[in-house]
Structure 1
Amino acid sequence: MDPNSNVATKTSLQNLIERIGSEHVERRLKIEVEHEAQLFGQGLILFNLENWYSAPWIIRTALKLTGLYGRARRNADHVVVKKHSVAFANLPPAFDNFTILHITDLHADISAGAMRHLISVVGGLQYDICVLTGDYRGKTYGPFKKSLEIIYELQTQLKGPIYGVLGNHDSIRMVPSMEAMGICVLFNECEPIVRGGQRIFLAGVDDPHFYRVDDIEKAASQIPSDAFSILLAHTPEVYGPAMSARFNFMLCGHTHGGQLCLPGGIPIKLEAAMPRFMGAGPWRHGAMVGYTSVGAGTGILPVRLNCPPEIVLHTLHAMGSSADGLSTPQGAL
């Protein structure tokens, strides 16, 4: 990055610097410049497969040799809409039937077919807020203009408030454009959501996987101890600190559910340091409920096997309503 580019970047990020502090912004920019294409080390796993230049060729060749490439390409383009209902004892009654549209892992510039299908579907959905849990760009480095153009097209079809966090594929330089679209990007921050005179809290942390700039304690610090709270994080890998901070519900992505799975949705590999049962769908850790979406887009190549891309409608219920208890996803629309 030349000096003129650096000045332009800092100018475009000035509002963010004033909001979250220059230390956070400069730390993330430094990692983006020096380490974003790193293959070994940096982050929570030793080997970053998606940054290995041979990975696309190896995966494509293996799928073609097994006769599965055409099927895997078609699967990657058909995004399904899943429904997930969950009840909580401390959910304020005003938020009974509150619905959250959860979209993650767009990898928009390398998932063209999935993005076309997604944009055609979301306009007809009913929900109260939309949340985005990161990985808007295809690669972990390089240009992001095309991804921003697709995100703009997508957000024109979305309704209501839109909140998001960044993932390990995202540059902080994308944020001014995203916020200009009306997407509130949370950096270890929380926002109250008010309904019927009652409120819940929505918090979001910066990427915990590669950049490791998450601060769950800071995000939770302004949330009353008895309040219902939701955490947005790119990856489920921070499930422990999230539970310790007394979050009730955690929404995340990153894993792609394995993307290429054995029959029954059994992932061959999960690019994350966590228990495998947290790799896709609903899960619990102590008193906290979590949901790991397999994502709408794809990494490395636009291919999927036994793991269809998804967006999720999460409907919250107050305990004692007709939807008591944690449910499994109710299927695709």
Structure 2
Amino acid sequence: MTRRPILQLLDLPLRHLPEELDGVRLAHISDLHVRKDRARFRQLIEELADADLDLACYTGDYMTWPGDEEVALQVMGRVIEAASPRLGQFGIFGNHDSAELARRFEELPVHWLINDAVELKGLPLEVSGLSRERHRMFDAARVAARMSGVAESNQGGTPFRILLSHHPYTLIHAADLGADLMLAGHSHGGQCRLPGARALANSSRLPRHLTAGRFRYRGTEAMVCRGLGEVHLPLRLNCPPHVPIYVLRRDPSGPKKTNPPISGFESVWSW
């Protein structure tokens, strides 16, 4: 039987993308929920080895319960080695990730953005992170201060801003922070869906039609992926795991940021 690919290639047109970033290939890896080594993770590692990536971004929930730290470290170490993107790897933690896991993950070659922001050297690109761990809430005020510092140090103007956040509802905060693109997970795409991809639940403050896909709030774009793992039940129904690879494309005709703010999120498309 032919395996369903885990990697999903997707062109992502973005209005404010600088020409220097057109064609950048970015892998978005989220919600592995490692409890043991699985064939799914081994397949992901095989596919990543041939993915030809520029960036890799990780948006949390690498483990599920206390005690999973060691196996999560082993699996993520192999994932990160296989990804080996040219421009770097960036990550945050999720609500299932423990303080012990965060401590042990410091040894991995990932720039962990614990409510922080960093500009890539030589590129008009800033990556920031709202990190929400089991033991600590995110700090949007600190991220705002760090983003302001990056902007002030940038001699060529404001960079394109990618914000990593585990929770999709923080798109409101991403818009307030001036992010151009937010990457999030957490929802598992609903994990179990009715026919027609209708989610039964999404563990989010957002309505079920905003469970996974591309959303917009005040012109800030969000990509919310289905992730790889499960929680509570080891089951996915009509909701296959995936790791999207976004090919960033410059689209000058795209939507402008609106001001004053609009109420509610706009669903661009779901997956």
Answering whether residue 193 of structure 2 is matched by residue 261 of structure 1, we say yes
* 1:217 aligned residue: 141
CA–CA distance in structure 1, aligned partners of residues 238 and 163 of structure 2: 28
Look up the equivalent residue of 2:109 and give its one-letter code: G
* 1:173 aligned residue: 100
Secondary structure, counterpart of 2:183 in structure 1: strand
Q: State the Cα distance separating 1:84 from its structure 2 match.
A: 2.7
CA–CA distance in structure 2, aligned partners of residues 281 and 131 of structure 1: 17
Question: Identity of paired residues, percent?
Answer: 27
Q: State the Cα distance separating 1:242 from its structure 2 match.
A: 1.2
Secondary structure, counterpart of 2:63 in structure 1: coil
Residues 101 and 184 of structure 1, relative CA distance in 2, 3 Å threshold: same
Look up the equivalent residue of 2:104 and give its one-letter code: S
Q: State the Cα distance separating 1:86 from its structure 2 match.
A: 2.5
Residues 316 and 217 of structure 1, relative CA distance in 2, 3 Å threshold: farther
* 1:271 aligned residue: 203
Look up the equivalent residue of 2:182 and give its one-letter code: M
Secondary structure, counterpart of 2:163 in structure 1: strand
Higher helix share: 1
Q: State the Cα distance separating 1:79 from its structure 2 match.
A: 5.5
Look up the equivalent residue of 2:186 and give its one-letter code: H
* 2:258 aligned residue: none
Correspondent of 2:78 among 139, 153, 165: 153
CA–CA distance in structure 2, aligned partners of residues 129 and 162 of structure 1: 6
Q: State the Cα distance separating 1:286 from its structure 2 match.
A: 1.5
* 2:241 aligned residue: 309
Look up the equivalent residue of 1:192 and give its one-letter code: E
* 2:225 aligned residue: 293
Question: TM (normalized to structure 2)?
Answer: 0.83
Question: Over alpha carbons, which structure has the higher Rg?
Answer: 1
Q: Deviations over 1:145-178 (max 9, x none)?
A: 1111111122221112211100011012223432
* 1:97 aligned residue: 23
Correspondent of 2:169 among 234, 237, 257: 237
Q: State the Cα distance separating 1:296 from its structure 2 match.
A: 1.3
Q: Deviations over 1:228-264 (max 9, x none)?
A: 2010001112111111111110000000011010012
Look up the equivalent residue of 1:156 and give its one-letter code: E
Q: State the Cα distance separating 1:328 from its structure 2 match.
A: 5.6
Answering whether residue 127 of structure 2 is matched by residue 202 of structure 1, we say yes
CA–CA distance in structure 2, aligned partners of residues 302 and 116 of structure 1: 17
Secondary structure, counterpart of 1:108 in structure 2: coil
CA–CA distance in structure 1, aligned partners of residues 186 and 204 of structure 2: 8
Residues 200 and 158 of structure 1, relative CA distance in 2, 3 Å threshold: same
Q: Work out whether residues 125 and 159 of structure 2, in 8 Å CA contact, stay in contact via their aligned partners in 1.
A: yes
* 1:51 aligned residue: none
Unaligned runs of 5+ in 1: 1-73
Question: TM (normalized to structure 1)?
Answer: 0.68
Correspondent of 1:108 among 5, 9, 34: 34
Secondary structure, counterpart of 1:156 in structure 2: helix
Look up the equivalent residue of 1:123 and give its one-letter code: A
CA–CA distance in structure 2, aligned partners of residues 211 and 284 of structure 1: 29
Q: Work out whether residues 131 and 137 of structure 2, in 8 Å CA contact, stay in contact via their aligned partners in 1.
A: yes
Q: Work out whether residues 90 and 227 of structure 1, in 8 Å CA contact, stay in contact via their aligned partners in 2.
A: no
Of residues 142-151 and 289-298 in structure 1, the stretch that sits farther from structure 2 once superposed is 142-151
Secondary structure, counterpart of 2:230 in structure 1: coil
Aligned length: 248
CA–CA distance in structure 2, aligned partners of residues 301 and 176 of structure 1: 28
Q: Deviations over 1:271-292 (max 9, x none)?
A: 1112333310111112111011
Q: Work out whether residues 257 and 267 of structure 1, in 8 Å CA contact, stay in contact via their aligned partners in 2.
A: yes
CA–CA distance in structure 2, aligned partners of residues 263 and 294 of structure 1: 16
CA–CA distance in structure 1, aligned partners of residues 160 and 135 of structure 2: 28
> Which contiguous aligned blocks of 4+ residues in structure 1 show a shift greater than 6 angstroms?
none
Higher strand share: 2
Unaligned runs of 5+ in 2: 152-156, 256-267
CA–CA distance in structure 1, aligned partners of residues 207 and 158 of structure 2: 29
